[in-house]
Structure 1
Amino acid sequence: MDRSFTWTAAMLLLAGACAGDGILPPGPLSGAVAGTVRFTTSLAPTQSPFLSVSWSFKGGSIITSTSVNSTDPAYSNRISLDRATGALELRNLGLLDSGVYTVIIIPDGGLQLQGKITLNVYVPITGAVIRSPAAVLIEDQSSTNLTCEASGSISTRHWMKDGLPLQLSDNVSLSADNVTVLIRPVLRSSGGSYQCQVSNPVSAMTAALNLTVNYGPYNTSITGPSSASLGQRVTLQCTAASVPPANFSWMFNGNETHVNNSVYLIEEMGGASVGNYTCTARNMVTMKENSALLNLRAACTAPCWSFSLLLISGFNLRRFM
């Protein structure tokens, strides 16, 4: 046999083996258990049908279609072949369908075309939830863990807090597998809504948990006038930063008033109302308290100034008599 002919034939075979490497997308394709996937080729329908279309999986034949179809019994009710483009539809997917699929197409009068693509089959995600030990959390005293659980094929877990990516810090860390957030200790800023998004290429779920951190009271303050006219109605309002909301009590000039809410009301300002008002905020969970003081004076009106001037004038007059 002519050596040049043999060499030419070998090159043609190699060219034929590689001619269609691009007829399938680069992949991988993703499918869900019990779902359907379609292996689509880049070929357009031709006037003359393909001489042969053959699909295989892990070296075993799925279907070979020439003038007749030869289908592996395991796929007889699970596949549909588009003879015009060579595309294959695979139904009722299972995890064992994950792997490399190969197609070989022989056009009428053309070189052999082929392609390979990987299919990954996933179990859809269900039942996503964030679990945390049942406990009353107190700022700087308690610690906790938040664990993200779900069923299905989990590819990624992404943690957020109050809708933003979770920021790690000295007291906030993640387990090596990204499943658990460790908060040690909890701070006032640790409270809020935590979200865990679990996903794979075919499904995603987001679980949420609201974390309550008990703190305070801090920044107790009294809102109200520092002076008021005689006869005026005066309202003093006490506020404090606290979770849960603080309980309030009032003292006047060091004495209990038996007013146990955030508002102290003086119906009519009088001389007996002048003095120091102390509001104490108490948190019944943290067992802490914090106080604020307001000194209320009587405002001097026009008659008051006239009387004062009269006293001053009388004093000066006596000096020169």
Structure 2
Amino acid sequence: ETPKPSINSSNLNPREGTETVILSCDPDTQDVSYLWWINGQSLPISRKLQLSENNRTLILSGVTKDTAGPYECEMKNPVSSSRSDPVTLNLLSELPEPYITSNNFNPMENKNVVALTCEPKTQGYTYVWRVNGQSLLVSPRLKQPGKNRILILTSVTRNDTGPYECEIRDRVGSICSDPVTLHVP
């Protein structure tokens, strides 16, 4: 009798559209054939789904909602067959590309207040600011209302030109904006 197989995944939480996931049907057993199912159907022919020679391993390229599962694998010999419990991948949405906007990129020294905003405004992300490549330290001159998305510089001096970068983070990754520099005459 064939043992009940289980699916092992290289990554149960892939970034949507960008990450490759490898599923394997365990245990590795002689004299059985391996079959895969997605949504209860046999696998479609697709460039995004590749099987190993013995069909025990399934490689998913750039996982999307259509290829997130649920997956089941089946082990079959001439006498019996058994199927795994289903496994569905939890897709993480792609991080948006951040960019910085400002009310004034050319402030007058000691006269102007500058607000730098990290765009786009998104839910579920953390915003982090960097100045001259260093994470921003707390300072009375720097105010960061609203989850750090906006950075307020009061009475700008020539030492405040930057460059400034903002980073958007989620629990598994981050992406950084292009740097911007203030021109303080």
The two structures have a TM-score, normalised by structure 1, of: 0.43
Q: Give the counterpart letter for 2:91 in structure 1.
A: N
Post-superposition offset of 1:165? 0.5
Q: Is the 8 A contact 1:24 1:115 kept in 2?
A: no
The count of residues paired between Structure 1 and Structure 2 equals 178
Q: Is the 8 A contact 2:71 2:87 kept in 1?
A: yes
Distance between the aligned counterparts of 1:163 and 1:137, measured in 2?
A: 24
1:102 aligns with 2:100: no
Task: Name the SS of the counterpart of 1:118 in structure 2.
Answer: coil
Post-superposition offset of 1:99? 5.1
1:24 aligns with 2:3: no
Q: Give the counterpart letter for 1:89 in structure 2.
A: I
Which of 61, 69, 72 is residue 40 of structure 2 equivalent to?
A: 61
Q: Give the counterpart letter for 1:61 in structure 2.
A: G
Q: Quote the residue 1:129 is aligned against.
A: 99
1:142 aligns with 2:121: no
Which of 93, 96, 116 is residue 87 of structure 2 equivalent to?
A: 116
Residue 186 and residue 100 in structure 1: after superposition, are their counterparts in 2 closer, same or farther (change >3 A)? farther
Could you say which structure has the higher helix fraction? 1
Q: Quote the residue 1:196 is aligned against.
A: 166
Post-superposition offset of 1:192? 2.5
Q: Is the 8 A contact 1:159 1:194 kept in 2?
A: yes
Distance between the aligned counterparts of 2:69 and 2:91, measured in 1?
A: 9
Residue 158 and residue 90 in structure 1: after superposition, are their counterparts in 2 closer, same or farther (change >3 A)? same
Q: Quote the residue 1:49 is aligned against.
A: 32
Q: Is the 8 A contact 1:124 1:153 kept in 2?
A: no
Q: Is the 8 A contact 1:142 1:184 kept in 2?
A: yes
Residue 79 and residue 203 in structure 1: after superposition, are their counterparts in 2 closer, same or farther (change >3 A)? farther
Post-superposition offset of 1:176? 2.0
Could you say which structure has the higher strand fraction? 1
Q: Give the counterpart letter for 1:104 in structure 2.
A: C
Task: Name the SS of the counterpart of 2:177 in structure 1.
Answer: strand
The two structures have a TM-score, normalised by structure 2, of: 0.67
Q: Is the 8 A contact 2:6 2:25 kept in 1?
A: no
Task: Name the SS of the counterpart of 1:104 in structure 2.
Answer: strand
Distance between the aligned counterparts of 1:106 and 1:53, measured in 2?
A: 7
After superposition, give the CA deviation of every residue in 1:31-60 in whole Å (9 maximum; x if it has no partner): 42xx5633322647543133x53333xxx3
Distance between the aligned counterparts of 2:41 and 2:70, measured in 1?
A: 9
Distance between the aligned counterparts of 1:118 and 1:55, measured in 2?
A: 14
Residue 26 and residue 210 in structure 1: after superposition, are their counterparts in 2 closer, same or farther (change >3 A)? closer
Q: Quote the residue 1:86 is aligned against.
A: 56
Residue 97 and residue 53 in structure 1: after superposition, are their counterparts in 2 closer, same or farther (change >3 A)? same
After superposition, give the CA deviation of every residue in 1:157-179 in whole Å (9 maximum; x if it has no partner): 33111111011222212232432
Post-superposition offset of 1:205? 3.9
Identity of paired residues, percent? Answer: 16
Residue 210 and residue 192 in structure 1: after superposition, are their counterparts in 2 closer, same or farther (change >3 A)? same
Q: Quote the residue 1:210 is aligned against.
A: 181
Superposition RMSD on alpha carbons, in Å? Answer: 4.0
Residue 36 and residue 143 in structure 1: after superposition, are their counterparts in 2 closer, same or farther (change >3 A)? closer
Post-superposition offset of 1:82? 3.3
How do 1:1-321 residues align onto structure 2 when only pairs under 5 Å count? Answer: 16=4, 20=6, 23-25=8-10, 27-32=12-17, 35=18, 37-41=20-24, 43=26, 45-50=28-33, 52-56=34-38, 60-63=39-42, 71=43, 75-77=44-46, 78-82=48-52, 84=54, 86-91=56-61, 93-94=63-64, 96-97=65-66, 101-106=70-75, 108=77, 112-114=83-85, 116-120=87-91, 122-123=93-94, 125-126=96-97, 128-134=98-104, 135-139=106-110, 141-149=111-119, 155-186=125-156, 189-198=159-168, 204-213=175-184, 244=185
Question: Could you say which structure has the greater relative contact order, defined with CA pairs below 8 angstroms and 6 or more residues apart?
Answer: 2
Post-superposition offset of 1:27? 2.5
